A = this chain, B = another copy of it.
Amino acid sequence: MQLHETMLKMGEQAKVASRQMASFSARKKNAMLMAMADALDAGRDRIVAENAKDMEAGREAALSDAMLDRLLLSPARMDSMIAGLRDVAALKDPVGSVISRWLRPNGLEIVKQRVPIGVIGIIYESRPNVTVDTTALCLKTGNVIILRGGKEAWHTNQVLASLLIEGGRSKGLPEHAIQLVETTDREAVRELVQLEGYLDLAIPRGGEALIRAVTEHARVPVIKHYKGVCQVYVDASADQATALAIIENAKCQRPGVCNAIETVVLHRDIASAILPAMVTRLRERSCTICGDESSCAISSYLEPASEDDWYAEYLDLRLAVRIVDTLEDAVEHINRYGSHHSDAIVADDEKAQKVFTQRVDSAVVYVNASTRFTDGAEFGMGAEIGISTDKLHARGPMGLEELTTYKFVVQGRGQIRE
């Protein structure tokens, strides 16, 4: 069968499965998730064996250590994957909940209620836990899933999907509610995201190249997470101890994640007071720093920053520093160079806080707190399928609700339009 027909068939099968899935009760869906967790638990040996094949192939293909580490399903990671399934089962199901309800003068009652989106495609790279985590969230919300993982994790993803299906089927999971794209052909991604009428949403999870490839070809809605170029602005009114603690935390606590910061913007009035202390503190954490001309003039430790530095997502212990004359210049810098993910102001002046939170066009804007809190669990959402840097449908941490849409159910007693 040609690739196009294969993918179309997957889409059709998923759509059929999604009609069944959408009508299941929370109890039924939870039973499936628990059975899926049990199946993974019972299948640990099979998972280890398949994961070893991928690791072996990875070593032969001379994958980097970082890549191999992402690929590895250690016992601890397996525990956490299985626990994750059970945790999702325990969450509240948003499907069926009433968003709003009103009565029209003609007696029509309009009920806006949450329903599953339908068929969700996940396109991801080498982390095999994504197979399990995203399946749990999509099924919990009455959606069905088409998975397209990275070729490095081929054997691991196959066995994980098989076990999930096996477990779920024992509790009534519809056939084709979980489908794994059975080819590593790159064209399959293009075909997948062009399945108009079948695929309702594509979520790419991975680096910029993957996301660009998806966006370029997609004819279905995409929710994506581009770079996390996050920034902290220290206002002239900032408490310096607070600023230093937030900067250190946002940069160094876990530099490789999207909600870590890349740039600190300092108001000129406090720059010379705070910058030397900041440099000392960050050097103790082995962080390198570059800066604009004004910052370099204050601290000789700083290397000169280039224009590219302001756009860079280092994902590493490196920070860029810029000094601005006004709050407005800070906002302008953040909106221009940042990725509209998470940005913070450190300020005691309430007016400055207000201007900043209103004008900075980001998913999450912090006042006197670290950007590291942008996370489904930290927000109290219980689960997170990703952090959207898009503006439509979902923005910022995406939990279960964001995997649903709504429909209007209108109850009448024979009303017609005059």
A-side interface residues toward B, CB under 8 Å?
19, 22-23, 102, 104, 108, 110, 115, 117-118, 196, 200-201, 215-216, 219, 221-223, 239, 242, 245-246, 248-250, 253, 335, 357-359, 361-370, 372-373, 378-380, 390-393, 395-396, 405-417
| Residue contact A357 to B393, C-beta cutoff 8 Å | no
| Residue contact B219 to A219, C-beta cutoff 8 Å | no
The 9 closest A-B CB pairs, nearest first, are: A369-B412, A249-B416, A372-B417, A393-B393, A242-B414, A392-B393, A221-B392, A391-B405, A364-B408
Q: Looking at the complex, which one of B102, B108, B215 makes contact with A196 (CB distance below 8 Å)? A: B215
| Residue contact A410 to B335, C-beta cutoff 8 Å | no
Q: Looking at the complex, which one of B201, B215, B221, B367 makes contact with A410 (CB distance below 8 Å)? A: B367
In the complex, 7 of the A-B residue pairs with CB atoms within 8 angstroms, ordered by the A residue number, are A118-B391, A221-B393, A242-B413, A249-B417, A369-B414, A370-B417, A392-B405
Q: Which residue of B lies closest to A364 (CB)?
A: B408
| Residue contact A369 to B410, C-beta cutoff 8 Å | yes
Known A-B contacts A246-B414, A367-B412; the reply to A407 vs B392 at CB < 8 A is no
Residues of B within 8 Å of A253, CB to CB, are 416-417
Residues of B within 8 Å of A411, CB to CB, are 367-369
Q: Looking at the complex, which one of B361, B378, B406 makes contact with A118 (CB distance below 8 Å)? A: B361
Q: Looking at the complex, which one of B104, B117, B216, B396 makes contact with A408 (CB distance below 8 Å)? A: B396
Further contacts, 7 of them, CB under 8 A, given A221-B221, A253-B416: A110-B380, A117-B391, A201-B392, A245-B416, A363-B408, A369-B412, A370-B412
| Residue contact B108 to A416, C-beta cutoff 8 Å | no
| Residue contact A373 to B417, C-beta cutoff 8 Å | yes
| Residue contact B410 to A108, C-beta cutoff 8 Å | no
Instruction: Tell me the interface secondary structure of chain A in the complex.
Output: mixed
| Residue contact B412 to A363, C-beta cutoff 8 Å | no
Residues of B within 8 Å of A215, CB to CB, are 196, 219
Q: Which residue of B lies closest to A245 (CB)?
A: B416
Q: Which residue of B lies closest to A112 (CB)?
A: B396
Q: Which residue of B lies closest to A370 (CB)?
A: B416
| Residue contact A395 to B406, C-beta cutoff 8 Å | yes
Known A-B contacts A117-B392, A395-B407; the reply to A366 vs B245 at CB < 8 A is no
Residues of B within 8 Å of A416, CB to CB, are 245-246, 248-250, 253, 369-370, 372
| Residue contact B216 to A219, C-beta cutoff 8 Å | yes
Query: Within the assembled complex, what's the spacing in Å between the Cα atoms of A23 and B335?
Result: 14
Query: Within the assembled complex, what's the spacing in Å between the Cα atoms of A335 and B392?
Result: 26
Residues of B within 8 Å of A108, CB to CB, are 369, 373
| Residue contact A19 to B405, C-beta cutoff 8 Å | no
| Residue contact A415 to B361, C-beta cutoff 8 Å | no
Known A-B contacts A200-B391, A221-B221, A405-B391; the reply to A366 vs B410 at CB < 8 A is yes
Query: Within the assembled complex, what's the spacing in Å between the Cα atoms of A389 and B62?
Result: 48
| Residue contact A414 to B245, C-beta cutoff 8 Å | yes
Residues of B within 8 Å of A372, CB to CB, are 416-417
Residues of B within 8 Å of A219, CB to CB, are 215-216
What's the minimum C-beta distance from A122 to chain B, rounded to whole angstroms?
15
What's the minimum C-beta distance from A159 to chain B, rounded to whole angstroms?
32
| Residue contact A23 to B412, C-beta cutoff 8 Å | no
| Residue contact B23 to A359, C-beta cutoff 8 Å | yes
Residues of B within 8 Å of A415, CB to CB, are 368-370, 373
Q: Looking at the complex, which one of B19, B200, B412 makes contact with A335 (CB distance below 8 Å)? A: B19
What's the minimum C-beta distance from A218 to chain B, rounded to whole angstroms?
8
Query: Within the assembled complex, what's the spacing in Å between the Cα atoms of A406 and B397?
Result: 12
Query: Within the assembled complex, what's the spacing in Å between the Cα atoms of A201 and B392?
Result: 8
